[in-house]
Chain A
């Protein structure tokens, strides 16, 4: 057994002093629950994201991109696997329970996985705008993360997501140099994915955010969101695309782009499991789990050492 703390105050003093919490520590229940919810949400999102990638393996144009989509699928499912192991170690739910809750629609995954990816343009927009939002979010969690096992896995995940983002930038540049039809397809994808990706950061952070106090987040949502807008508006403009924000403003003095008013209604709907593609996504994930049941059963039934 690891360390114990006599009160939440002592624990927060420990966190404030830069202390790292490890799996065998007797951490306060509220902290354990918060870390667990955080990692479970991340794990679910990796799994749902991996399943979307999988859908695109047969439809991806060109062998090189197909290899990349295959590998990205393995990345996301692999990340989910690592995260489910770390989440289960917290002793709140087993991996089985987490998956059952996910497929029953009882636990959350990120808003961007509640929308359909209809075209290759959508896949490029996801790889650019969604991964472009995921990387700074994950870096913000990683930077000062107080939970050791999650921090160490996040470091590897961030390295791999950075690679996805480079792929996204390469794909976007390629599609920007494409035919009028390809460019029109990508413009439609930007129009459809701009706001969901922007809302991934969430509403402005509250002044006394518990997750910030417990060092599970080191950057305010609005700061990360502003950085994202500042990165992608000039990039898309330079490729000759527009951004679907009539309230977008540009300060010529500082060269800073600021987004217009944000409608949080769609985010609330996805959090209530009522997004445009939520039901189909969950049904597909659940079906994938069911159709592979025989593999798990066979592995469970095999004598020790029979499967290598």
Chain B
């Protein structure tokens, strides 16, 4: 989602407000950087409609994220009615996670994002990791182990 426009339109400010909302389980990582923001529609009278997509439809944080987004956008001046909707398409994929978010997750939480092909590198030492379980503590995470530094890590996945 691009926010690189110079004029400070309501839409831009709404996107910036959504970007202040972190994933409830990944502090320091914005839901925008995780690729959850899909659509932002504004009208002249200040109505803002936000469309989000979930990582997994069974994610328990959906209501909390939507409430946080609604609160963040409602706080903006000149904003009228705010609606937040979870969209059924497109389907979230890990390609949507920004490089910034990947770096923060790797450094702060030893949390990797599954590699497109080949083994996922360890967030600590960059060596190849091996999947130990497809099921981690969340729907969107698997458990891997690093062959080299032996670290037990979690890997964000989309399938």
Residues of chain A at the chain B interface (Cβ within 8 Å) = 22-24, 64, 67-68, 70-72, 74-79, 81-82, 85-86, 89, 149, 152-153, 155-157, 159-160, 162-163, 166-167, 170
B39 close to chain A: CB less than 8 A: no
Report the separation of the CA atoms of residues A70 and B61 in the bound assembly, to the nearest whole angstrom.
12
Partner-contacting stretch, out of B30-38, B72-80, B149-157: B149-157
Residues of A within 8 A of B138 (CB): 71, 74-75, 78, 160
Report the separation of the CA atoms of residues A166 and B145 in the bound assembly, to the nearest whole angstrom.
30
Q: A160 to B151, Cβ gap below 8 A? A: no
A-B contact pairs, 20 of them (CB 8 A): A22-B149, A70-B58, A71-B59, A74-B138, A75-B138, A78-B138, A79-B137, A81-B137, A82-B154, A85-B143, A149-B152, A152-B109, A152-B151, A156-B109, A156-B137, A159-B25, A162-B27, A163-B61, A166-B64, A167-B60
B127 close to chain A: CB less than 8 A: no
Q: A82 to B152, Cβ gap below 8 A? A: yes
Q: A163 to B25, Cβ gap below 8 A? A: yes
Q: A166 to B24, Cβ gap below 8 A? A: yes
Residues of A within 8 A of B26 (CB): 159
Q: A74-B135, A78-B135 are in contact. Are A160 and B108 (CB under 8 A)?
A: no
Residues of A within 8 A of B135 (CB): 74, 78
Q: B150 to A24, Cβ gap below 8 A? A: yes
Q: A160 to B152, Cβ gap below 8 A? A: no
Report the separation of the CA atoms of residues A120 and B109 in the bound assembly, to the nearest whole angstrom.
33
Q: A23 to B111, Cβ gap below 8 A? A: no
Q: A85-B145, A156-B109 are in contact. Are A64 and B63 (CB under 8 A)?
A: yes
Q: A67-B60, A163-B24, A166-B24 are in contact. Are A74 and B109 (CB under 8 A)?
A: no
Report the separation of the CA atoms of residues A75 and B26 in the bound assembly, to the nearest whole angstrom.
14
A35 CB to nearest B CB, Å: 15
A290 CB to nearest B CB, Å: 20
Interface size class of B (residues with CB under 8 A): 20 to 34
Chain B: CB-nearest residue to A24: B150
Q: A149-B152, A152-B110, A163-B61 are in contact. Are A78 and B136 (CB under 8 A)?
A: yes
B132 close to chain A: CB less than 8 A: yes
Contact of A156 among B59, B111, B145 (CB under 8 A): B111
B127 CB to nearest A CB, Å: 14
Q: A74-B137, A166-B64 are in contact. Are A82 and B143 (CB under 8 A)?
A: yes
B110 CB to nearest A CB, Å: 5
Q: A152-B110, A159-B109 are in contact. Are A71 and B27 (CB under 8 A)?
A: no
B133 close to chain A: CB less than 8 A: yes
Interface of A is mostly: helix
Q: Given A149-B150, A149-B151, A163-B24, 20 more contacts at CB 8 Å?
A: A23-B150, A24-B150, A64-B63, A67-B58, A70-B58, A71-B138, A72-B60, A74-B139, A77-B137, A82-B136, A89-B150, A153-B110, A156-B109, A159-B26, A160-B138, A162-B24, A163-B61, A167-B60, A167-B64, A170-B64
Residues of B within 8 A of A76 (CB): 137
Q: A23-B150, A82-B143 are in contact. Are A75 and B24 (CB under 8 A)?
A: no
Report the separation of the CA atoms of residues A157 and B111 in the bound assembly, to the nearest whole angstrom.
12
Report the separation of the CA atoms of residues A155 and B64 in the bound assembly, to the nearest whole angstrom.
21
A24 CB to nearest B CB, Å: 7
Residues of A within 8 A of B64 (CB): 163, 166-167, 170
Residues of B within 8 A of A24 (CB): 150
Report the separation of the CA atoms of residues A188 and B106 in the bound assembly, to the nearest whole angstrom.
44
Q: Which of B93-134 contact A (CB under 8 A)?
A: 108-111, 132-133
Report the separation of the CA atoms of residues A269 and B94 in the bound assembly, to the nearest whole angstrom.
48
Q: B137 to A78, Cβ gap below 8 A? A: yes
Report the separation of the CA atoms of residues A228 and B58 in the bound assembly, to the nearest whole angstrom.
32
Q: Which 10 A-B pairs have the closest CB atoms?
A: A78-B137, A71-B60, A68-B60, A163-B24, A75-B137, A85-B152, A152-B110, A78-B136, A160-B25, A67-B60
